Amino acid sequence: MLYNKHYEKYNVILDQGVEEIKDIMIDPIEVIKHSLSNSKRYGADGKPYLEKLYSVHKGSQRVTQAKKLGYTHIEGIILNV
């Protein structure tokens, strides 16, 4: 899965108590698995819309904190919607 570097690129302050996480990641992140469309879709200015197969539903800030702490793997749950 591709990691979105938005929080790192823009130096966003993590909230919801995530910055206090120093050594453990208790709860898994929640990831949604999307159904991809077979038909071509277009977004703004008629540009082709690239659908994502997965997106983080809950815990995206925890992913950023885990990266800061040097984690290479964290637990996640895939939700089929």
The structural domains of the chain, with segments of one domain joined by +, span: 6-17+26-80
Minimal CA–CA distance to 61: which of 71, 4, 33? 4
- 15: its two tokens: 């909230």
Q: Contact at 8 Å (CB) between 51 and 69? A: no
pTM for this prediction: 0.56
Cα 29 from Cα 60, distance rounded (Å) = 7
Residues 10-51: pLDDT tens digits?
A: 666 665 556 666 656 677 888 898 888 888 888 888 888 888
Please report the pLDDT score of residue 67 as a whole number. Answer: 78
Cα 61 from Cα 4, distance rounded (Å) = 11
